[in-house]
Amino acid sequence: MILSIESSCDDSSLALTRLEDSKLLWHAKISQEQEHSAHGGVVPELASRLHAHNLPLLLQRAKEFLGGKTPFAPLKAIAITTRPGLAITLLEGLMMAKTLALSLKLPLISVDHLKGHLYSLFINQLHARFPLSVLLVSGGHTLIIEADSPTDMRIIAKSLDDSLGESFDKVARMLGLGYPGGPEVEKCANLCPAGEQYPLPLPLKQKSALAFSFSGLKNAVRLAVAKTQPLSQELQAQICAGFQTTACAHLLHKVRAYLEHARVRCFGLVGGVSANAYIRTQLEILCAQFGVELLCAPLEFCTDNAAMIGRAGVESYHNEEFVDLRTLDISPHTEILESVG
C-alpha cells in the first residue's frame, strides 16, 4: 500500500491505498474550519501551525490502524501533495513525507493537487477513465481540464479573477453568514421561494472567450447588500439564491460553449464546490442534452483529502514515477499547462 499526505490548504489528511486494486483502506482528515471561521477565511500562518500539530496525530492513527510490531512494513511508497497550494502549508506535509521516506527507505511520489481532484472520481476503482474532461470548482480554482491520459492533461479554461469557491466565501462574509461560505450560501438559498431570487448580472455574457469571471458578480452582491441595511432574512435568502443561480448559469454557459466544440464522451465535476446540489443537478441536465456521461466525485471526497492523492499516487507508482528526495520541493503553481490556441 502507499501512504498519502495532503496539506495544500487548511485540511490535514492522510490515507492508505492498496496498490493491487486501488482500494482505499483507511482515510482520516482534521478540518481547520472552526479555527479559521473567526477570520472569515484561511490564515496561512495559522493553517501551517495547525498542520504541524494535526499531521502527527493522523500519522499515529494510521500506525494504530496498521497495527503489529512493524506497522509501516506494508508501505511501498509515500505520496505527497507538492503543488499547487499555500507554500507554508505544503511544506508541513513535505517535511513529514521526506522524514518518512528517509527513515523507512521508501520512494517518494509527487502529486499535483489538481490531478488529485481529477482522481477523486476514481477512488476505490481499479481503472481511471480516459479521455476525460472535468470542471474543477474549488476554493482556489475554477477550471476546465482535458485529460487524454494520466500524463497528458491541459487547462482549457480558467477564471480571470476569483475562483467560485472564494466567491462563495466572500458572499457569505458580506451577508454575515458562516465559514466556509459554500454550504452556508447554499443552505440560505434553499430558503428562498422559487422565482424570488435577487436578479444579478450574468458574467461575460457577451464574451465568446472560454473563461470564467466572478469578480463582477461578487461586486453586484456587495452593491445589493449596501442598498438595504440591516438585511432581513428574506433578503439574505434572495441574494444567496440569486448569487448561486447566476454563478451556476455562468458555469453552464461556458461549459455549454465547450461541449459544443469538443468531442466529449465523459465529463467530470470535482472540487469542493462540486458538493453543491444545485450545480450538480443543473450540470447533469446540461450533459444529458449533449449525450455526455457526467461523473461526480463522492460528496465525502469533494473537498481536499488524502484519498484522492493516494489514488493519483497509485497511478504514478505503477508507472514508476518517483522523485528524488533531495531535490523535491513545493510550488504554488500547477504542473498542468494551459492549452495554446
Over residues 149-191, the pLDDT tens digits come to: 999 999 999 999 999 999 999 999 999 998 899 999 999 999 9
5-20 pLDDT tens trace: 999 999 999 999 999 9
**Burial degree of 229 (CB within 10 A; 0-12, 13-18, 19+):** exposed
Q: Yes or no: say if 189 and 244 are a contact pair by the CB < 8 Å rule.
A: yes
Q: What residues does 212 pair with on adjacent strands?
A: 159
Q: What residues does 14 pair with on adjacent strands?
A: 5, 28
Identify the pLDDT of residue 340: 59
| 101-127 mean pLDDT | 98
Identify the pLDDT of residue 265: 95
Evaluate if residue 341 carries a pLDDT over 60.
no
CA-to-CA distance for 223 and 58, rounded, in angstroms? 44
Q: Is residue 138 part of an annotated ligand binding site?
A: yes
What is residue 200's three-state secondary structure?
coil
Identify the pLDDT of residue 245: 97
Q: Is residue 8 part of an annotated ligand binding site?
A: no
Q: Is residue 120 part of an annotated ligand binding site?
A: no
Q: Is residue 10 part of an annotated ligand binding site?
A: no
Q: Among 26-40, 44-58, 105-119, 211-225, which stretch is predicted with the lowest mean pLDDT?
A: 26-40
246-259 pLDDT tens trace: 999 999 999 999 99
Q: Is residue 182 part of an annotated ligand binding site?
A: yes
Q: Is residue 276 part of an annotated ligand binding site?
A: yes
Considering the chain, what is the average pLDDT of its residues? 96
| 108-126 mean pLDDT | 98
CA-to-CA distance for 98 and 328, rounded, in angstroms? 9
Predicted structure pTM score: 0.95
Q: Pairing mode, if any, of strands 108-112 and 77-83? A: parallel
Q: Among 39-48, 83-92, 312-321, which stretch is predicted with the lowest mean pLDDT?
A: 39-48
How confident is residue 69, by pLDDT bands cut at 50, 70 and 90?
Answer: very high
Identify the pLDDT of residue 228: 82
Q: Yes or no: say if 292 and 266 are a contact pair by the CB < 8 Å rule.
A: yes
Identify the pLDDT of residue 82: 98
Identify the pLDDT of residue 38: 83
Q: Is residue 186 part of an annotated ligand binding site?
A: yes
Q: Yes or no: say if 224 and 197 are a contact pair by the CB < 8 Å rule.
A: no
Identify the pLDDT of residue 100: 98
Q: Is residue 136 part of an annotated ligand binding site?
A: yes
| CA 240 to chain CA centroid, nearest Å | 22
Long-range pairs, 45-53, Cβ under 8 A, ≥24: 45/88, 47/9, 47/10, 47/86, 47/88, 47/89, 48/86, 48/88, 48/89, 48/91, 48/92, 50/10, 50/12, 51/7, 51/12, 51/89, 51/92, 51/93, 52/92
Evaluate if residue 84 carries a pLDDT over 70.
yes
| Whole-number percent of the chain with pLDDT over 70 | 99
Q: Yes or no: say if 180 and 41 are a contact pair by the CB < 8 Å rule.
A: no
Q: Yes or no: say if 6 and 305 are a contact pair by the CB < 8 Å rule.
A: yes
Q: Is residue 137 part of an annotated ligand binding site?
A: yes
Q: Is residue 117 part of an annotated ligand binding site?
A: yes
